[in-house]
Amino acid sequence: MQTIGLLGGTGTLGKGLCVHLADSFEVMVGSRSKDKAVAIVEEILNEKSERGQELKERLIPAENSEMVSKVNTIVATVPFEVAVETVRSLASSFRGNQIFISAAAFLEKKDKEFQAGSGRSISEQIQSLLPETVQVAAAFQTVPAAFLYKNSIIEGDVLVATNKKTTYDACAQLIERIKNLRPLYVGSLEVARDIEGLTSILLNVAIKNHLKNPTFKIIDETHPR
């Protein structure tokens, strides 16, 4: 069975992803502290006790560096402010043809409103730090994490930006394992900035319209949903 690693998997998005990904994969829940990873896995198993022994067997607590050196596919779920530095500090642990999916969204807050961050996306900054063989993708930015953790089904589209179609295909296979999430290819890493910017729209929409956990779905007439 394939193992997916979550970098900073102990937070809101990490917990949400790990309970869904564990339906199909082993999941290494990474943390700066092994003790914290063990405690969070314990917490998840208590909160999801109906999932029983299978979930217990599939969630593996680990230190971030151990996880990065062991798995082929990593999803980074650390706050955007520390994502680039976190990858820099682990750069020597990456190897071979790994896939690195960044969920981070570069945001700025001005006058009580969120805006897309100016300059290169977090995903592009991360790609520039990693060996060329490691392919970076941006994905999951618009998936509401708390809702994902609470619910067994979440509907929405996951926009993916990455430089190679083969990397997109690998990301899509992972995303499709989460029931009712649809992966959609947006383009190269240069458009990751646009995907990251969508998070600011969701945050503003939620605040100004009193919405809880909004997300995006792309509607088209050939595939009505």
Residues of this chain that bind ligand NAP (CB under 6 A): 8, 10-14, 31-33, 36, 77-80, 82-83, 86, 103-105, 140-141, 143-145
First to last CA, the chain: 32
Two tokens, residue 34: 């092994």
DSSP strand pairing (26-31 vs 3-7)? parallel
Q: What's the closest the beta carbon of residue 224 comes to ligand NAP, in angstroms?
A: 26
CB closer to ligand NAP, 67 vs 172: 67
Q: What's the closest the beta carbon of residue 33 comes to ligand NAP, in angstroms?
A: 6
Q: What's the closest the beta carbon of residue 139 comes to ligand NAP, in angstroms?
A: 9
CB closer to ligand NAP, 105 vs 172: 105
Q: Are 91 and 69 in contact (CB under 8 A)?
A: no
CB closer to ligand NAP, 42 vs 54: 42
**Backbone Cα Rg of the chain:** 17
CB closer to ligand NAP, 5 vs 8: 8
Q: What angle do CA 113, 144, 168 make, to 5 degrees?
A: 105
Burial of 66 (0-12, 13-18, 19+ CB in 10 A): middle
Q: What's the closest the beta carbon of residue 221 comes to ligand NAP, in angstroms?
A: 28
Q: Give the residue closest to ligand NAP by C-beta.
A: 11
Q: Which candidate, 96, 225, 122, 101, places its Cα nearest to that of 175?
A: 101
**CB atoms inside a 10 Å sphere around CB 129:** 16
Q: What's the closest the beta carbon of residue 204 comes to ligand NAP, in angstroms?
A: 14
DSSP strand pairing (26-31 vs 59-63)? parallel
Q: What's the closest the beta carbon of residue 84 comes to ligand NAP, in angstroms?
A: 11
CB closer to ligand NAP, 187 vs 214: 214
CB closer to ligand NAP, 121 vs 141: 141
Q: Which candidate, 168, 91, 93, places its Cα nearest to that of 137?
A: 168
